[in-house]
A and B are shown apart, each in its own frame.
Chain A
Amino acid sequence: QSALTQPPSASGSPGQSVTISCTGTSSDVGGYNYVSWYQQYPGKAPKLMIYEVSKRPSGVPDRFSGSKSGNTASLTVSGLQAEDEADYYCSSYAGSDNFVVFGGGTKLTVL
């Protein structure tokens, strides 16, 4: 059982927007502004898409955005494209005891 809770699946049609949630506790998501999101294609390594809740690394399209409210963080993908179909994982800093926690992952399907 993962420390952070994500829906197993999400879907949308090309051009639409989809939001993936990531729910934790006040000891991780709610306690720090250190939520990150990773995209993973089958058989490939994860790729950083969002860090510090809402910041994008260089090269990540601005169609990807992040936010947080209380103990829940969200990743929104706007203007869905076929290449966005992948697994998405959230992660949070969880203090000096647990340090890093991940969500169980969400499979995003572009219909």
Chain B
Amino acid sequence: QVQLQESGPGLVKPSETLSLTCDVSDYSISSGYNWGWIRQPPGKGLEWIGSIFKSGSAYYKPSLKSRVSILVDTSRNQFSLKLTSVTAADTAVYYCARYNNGLRHFDYWGQGTLVTVSS
């Protein structure tokens, strides 16, 4: 059973950079599949942020593209999210998930971590 666990600061100041890591267990991140980040503002719906392929190529939501980067660290079996110049609108629960690129869905999800943007 693949397990994913998000980690990172729960509080980020406006204009600073949000950084999160997703640790993957019971599956080698370099074996296949792709990986992604999804967020959910309090009381609202899911929003795809971006996905990274095994090849290292990444796709980002167009409206976030200028502020987002997703990287994979195969030596640590983890991938990361960086979101720059954050505002209160970036306050959300952030989920990492495994993406089945062949069948186009997220099959395993982390439990999520709340990140609040506030001074």
Tell whether A and B belong to one assembly: yes
Spell out A's residues near B (CB within 8 Å): 2, 32, 34, 36, 38, 44-48, 51-52, 57, 89, 91, 93, 96-105
Interface pair A52/B103, CB less than 8 Å apart: yes
B-to-A contact residues, CB < 8 Å? 36, 38, 45-48, 51, 59, 61-62, 95, 100, 103-107, 109-112
Q: Are A100 and B51 in contact (CB under 8 A)?
A: yes
CB pair A36–B111 under 8 Å, yes or no, is no
What B residues does A44 contact at CB under 8 A? 111
In the bound complex, how far is the Cα of B103 from the Cα of A96, in angstroms? 15
Q: Is the CB of B110 within 8 A of A101?
A: no
Residues from chain B with Cβ under 8 Å of A52 in the complex: 103-105
Nearest to A99 among chain B residues (CB) is B59
Chain B contact residues, majority secondary structure: strand
B45 pairs with A51, CB closer than 8 A:
no
The answer to whether A34 and B103 touch (CB under 8 A), given A2-B45, A102-B48, is: yes
Q: Given that A97-B62, A98-B62 are contacting pairs, would A57 and B47 also be in contact in the complex, using a CB cutoff of 8 Å?
A: no
Q: Is the CB of A32 within 8 A of B62?
A: no
- The answer to whether B45 and A48 touch across the interface, beta carbons within 8 angstroms, is no
Could you say which residues of chain A place their CB within 8 Å of the CB of B95?
45-46
Query: Which residue of chain A has the shortest Cβ distance to B112 in the bound complex?
Result: A45
Q: Which residues of A contact B59 (CB under 8 A)?
A: 96, 99
**Cβ contact within 8 Å between B46 and A46:** yes
What 3 A-B pairs are tightest by C-beta distance, nearest first?
A34-B104, A36-B105, A100-B48
Asked if A104 and B45 sit within 8 Å, CB to CB, the answer is: yes
- Shortest distance from the beta carbon of B111 to any chain A beta carbon, whole Å: 5
Instruction: Give the residue among A34, A45, A102 with the most B Cβ atoms within 10 A.
Output: A45
Do residues B48 and A99 form an inter-chain contact, with CB atoms below 8 A? yes
